[in-house]
Amino acid sequence: MFMGGRGLGGALPEAVDVEAADGAETPCAPLDRHKAGAAVRIVEIGGDRALKRRLRNLGLRPGKTIEICQESPAGVVVAADGLKLALAPDAARVVLVEKRSR
């Protein structure tokens, strides 16, 4: 399934530090900055309301761990709960994630 497109408002910054539940700061970056094979946890989803709703309906929400299957200039393919999703570059840019250990 293809997610994304033009006009995604509410873009997130290039990288930020987010306070984890234990109080430690965790470095986060947009989904499109990670390589294939990485396991990441969604921290925040930016973009417009419609994009947030579509991603939430597909099971992509903050706290969810996903795997990056493929990354290219054309977008990012992620796997979550046995489902593979293709995100356009603009959509992948507004999904803020932190890297998880395997």
**Model confidence pLDDT, tens digit, residues 58-90:** 899 999 999 999 999 999 999 999 999 999 999
pLDDT score for 23: 53
Distance in angstroms (rounded) separating the CA atoms of residues 8 and 52: 10
Q: What's the predicted TM-score (pTM) here?
A: 0.75
Domains present along the chain, CATH in parentheses: 29-100 (2.30.30.90)
Distance in angstroms (rounded) separating the CA atoms of residues 43 and 61: 8
pLDDT score for 100: 87
